[in-house]
């Protein structure tokens, strides 16, 4: 619906509890329908910890969100157990690397 303003991408942080709720995708579809939001303007952010808590569930949800046209970002990457091995399997649009992951990369030979 055209209200006379430019649409911008909205980034929304999703808690682990929200993401792991059995009706998460269904509730999201209801909200999108009610608000008439084009899913391409929605980017959901989940933390790395949330993503790896149940990797099979996460992969399923990420695929369903991708089918809906919703973008997903992994936030705080590098703050916990790194999921580098799963990144190729995940349908994410962005990876937000935590500053602590690369903080001393230039001065610490081990981190290079």
Counting residues of the chain whose pLDDT is more than 90, the rounded percentage is: 46
Element (H, E) at 11: strand 10-13
- What domains are there in the chain, each with its CATH number? 10-111 (3.20.20.450)
CB within 8 Å of 17: residues ≥ 6 apart: none
If you average pLDDT over residues 63-91, what whole number do you get? Answer: 78
As a whole number, the mean pLDDT across the chain is: 83
CA–CA gap between residue 75 and residue 19 (Å, rounded): 14
Write out pLDDT tens, residues 12-62: 999 999 999 999 999 999 999 999 989 999 999 998 888 888 889 999 999
Q: How far is CA 46 from CA 76, 81, 104, in A?
A: 9, 15, 25
Predicted pLDDT at 64: 95
If you average pLDDT over residues 78-95, what whole number do you get? Answer: 67
Predicted pLDDT at 31: 94
- The residue whose two tokens read 């993401």 is 19
């Amino acid at each position: 619906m055209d209200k006379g303003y430019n649409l911008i991408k909205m980034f929304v942080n999703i808690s682990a509890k929200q993401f792991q709720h059995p009706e998460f995708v269904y509730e999201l579809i209801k909200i999108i329908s009610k608000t008439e939001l084009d899913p391409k303007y929605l980017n959901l952010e989940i933390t790395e910890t949330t993503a790896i808590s149940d990797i099979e569930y996460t992969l399923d949800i990420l695929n369903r969100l991708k089918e809906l046209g919703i973008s997903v970002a992994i936030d705080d990457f590098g703050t916990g157990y790194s999921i580098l091995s799963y990144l190729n399997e995940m349908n994410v649009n962005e990876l937000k690397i935590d500053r602590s992951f690369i903080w001393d990369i230039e001065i610490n030979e081990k981190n290079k």
